Chain A
Amino acid sequence: MQEMLQYLFSGITNGAIYAVIAIGFSMLYNSTDLINFAHGEFVMLGALCMVTFFGTLHLPIVLAILLAIASVAVAGLVFERLAIRSVKNPEPIVLIIITVGASIFLRGIGMILWGKDAHTIASFSSHPPLDIAGAKLLSQSIWIIVILLLTAVGLQLFYKKTLTGKAMEANAISKRAAWIVGIPSKLMIMLAFGLSTAMGGLAGVIIAPITMSSYDMGTMLGLKGFCAAMLGGLGSLWGALIGGFLLGILEAMGVGFVSSGLKDATAFLLLLFILYVKPGGIISSASVKRF
Chain B
Amino acid sequence: MNNHQTRNRICYTVFLLIILLVGYFLENLYYIQVLTFIGINTLLALALNMLMGYAGQISLGHAAFYGIGAYGTAILTVHYGFSPWLALPAAILSAMIVAYIVGIPTLKLSGYYLGMGTLGFGMIVNILFREWSSVTGGASGFIGIPALELGPISFASGRNYFFLVWGFVLIGFIACQRIIDSRIGRALRAIHDGENAAAAVGVDTRQLKLQIFVLSAAISALAGFLYAHLVYFISPGSFSFIASIRMVTMVVIGGMASIWGALLGASLLTLLPEWLHAFSEFEMVVYGLILMVVMIFLPRGLTRGLLDIYERTRKKNEH
For B52, what are the chain A residues with a Cβ–Cβ distance below 8 Å? 93
- Chain B, residues 91-118, CB within 8 Å of chain A (1/0): the string is 0000000000000011011111101110
User: Cβ of B295 and Cβ of A98 under 8 Å apart?
Assistant: yes
Known: A93-B111, A104-B291. Is A87-B296 also a contact (CB below 8 A)? yes
Known: A37-B115, A97-B291. Is A265-B284 also a contact (CB below 8 A)? no
User: Cβ of B284 and Cβ of A108 under 8 Å apart?
Assistant: yes
The residue on A at minimum CB distance from B116 is A226
| Of A101, A111, A262, A265, the contact of B295 (CB 8 Å cutoff) | A101
A27 to chain B, nearest CB (A): 15
| Of B106, B112, B292, the contact of A98 (CB 8 Å cutoff) | B292
Find residues 87-124 in chain A having any chain B CB closer than 8 Å to their own CB: 87-89, 92-94, 96-98, 100-109, 111-112
In angstroms, Cα B295 to Cα A105, docked, is: 14
In angstroms, Cα B103 to Cα A276, docked, is: 11
Q: Does B260 contact A (CB under 8 A)?
A: no
Q: Does B60 contact A (CB under 8 A)?
A: yes
| Of B105, B123, B299, the contact of A89 (CB 8 Å cutoff) | B299
| Of A88, A102, A109, A271, the contact of B299 (CB 8 Å cutoff) | A88
A276 to chain B, nearest CB (A): 4
In angstroms, Cα B109 to Cα A108, docked, is: 30
For B113, what are the chain A residues with a Cβ–Cβ distance below 8 Å? 275, 279
The residue on B at minimum CB distance from A215 is B284
In angstroms, Cα B297 to Cα A108, docked, is: 22
User: Cβ of A268 and Cβ of B123 under 8 Å apart?
Assistant: yes
Q: Does B255 contact A (CB under 8 A)?
A: no
Known: A88-B299, A93-B58, A96-B58. Is A104-B105 also a contact (CB below 8 A)? no
User: Cβ of A271 and Cβ of B115 under 8 Å apart?
Assistant: no
Q: Does B121 contact A (CB under 8 A)?
A: yes
- Chain B, residues 210-242, CB within 8 Å of chain A (1/0): the string is 000000000000000000000000000000011
For B105, what are the chain A residues with a Cβ–Cβ distance below 8 Å? 272, 275-276
User: Cβ of A223 and Cβ of B123 under 8 Å apart?
Assistant: yes
In angstroms, Cα B52 to Cα A228, docked, is: 28
User: Cβ of B120 and Cβ of A271 under 8 Å apart?
Assistant: yes
| Of A101, A112, A271, the contact of B290 (CB 8 Å cutoff) | A101
User: Cβ of A102 and Cβ of B124 under 8 Å apart?
Assistant: no
| Of A226, A261, A276, the contact of B127 (CB 8 Å cutoff) | A261
| Of A106, A111, A227, A279, the contact of B281 (CB 8 Å cutoff) | A111
Known: A108-B283, A109-B285, A276-B105. Is A102-B292 also a contact (CB below 8 A)? yes
For B108, what are the chain A residues with a Cβ–Cβ distance below 8 Å? 276
Q: Does A86 contact B (CB under 8 A)?
A: yes
Q: For chain A, what secondary structure do more than half of its interface residues adopt (helix, strand, loop), or is it mixed?
A: helix
For A34, what are the chain B residues with a Cβ–Cβ distance below 8 Å? 112
User: Cβ of A100 and Cβ of B117 under 8 Å apart?
Assistant: no
User: Cβ of A264 and Cβ of B123 under 8 Å apart?
Assistant: yes
For B194, what are the chain A residues with a Cβ–Cβ distance below 8 Å? none
For B58, what are the chain A residues with a Cβ–Cβ distance below 8 Å? 93, 96-97
B185 to chain A, nearest CB (A): 19
Q: Does A83 contact B (CB under 8 A)?
A: yes
Task: Tell which of B282, B284, B287, B292 has the most Cβ of chain A within 10 Å.
Answer: B292
User: Cβ of A100 and Cβ of B291 under 8 Å apart?
Assistant: yes
User: Cβ of B116 and Cβ of A111 under 8 Å apart?
Assistant: no
User: Cβ of A268 and Cβ of B124 under 8 Å apart?
Assistant: yes
In angstroms, Cα B58 to Cα A279, docked, is: 18
Q: Does B245 contact A (CB under 8 A)?
A: yes
In angstroms, Cα B143 to Cα A122, docked, is: 41
In angstroms, Cα B127 to Cα A279, docked, is: 24
The residue on A at minimum CB distance from B138 is A261
Q: Does A173 contact B (CB under 8 A)?
A: no
User: Cβ of A94 and Cβ of B285 under 8 Å apart?
Assistant: no
For B241, what are the chain A residues with a Cβ–Cβ distance below 8 Å? 219
Can you offer 8 A-B residue contacts whose CB atoms are under 8 A?
A87-B295, A96-B111, A97-B252, A107-B288, A108-B282, A111-B281, A265-B128, A268-B121
Supply 9 further A-B pairs (C-beta < 8 A) apart from A37-B119, A223-B119, A276-B105.
Answer: A83-B296, A86-B296, A87-B296, A93-B52, A107-B288, A262-B131, A265-B128, A268-B124, A279-B113
Q: Which residues of A contact B (CB under 8 A)?
A: 34-35, 37, 83, 86-89, 92-94, 96-98, 100-109, 111-112, 219, 223, 226-227, 230, 259, 261-262, 264-265, 268-269, 271-272, 275-276, 279
Nearest 10 A/B pairs, CB to CB: A105-B288, A101-B291, A108-B284, A108-B285, A261-B131, A92-B111, A104-B288, A101-B292, A276-B105, A35-B112
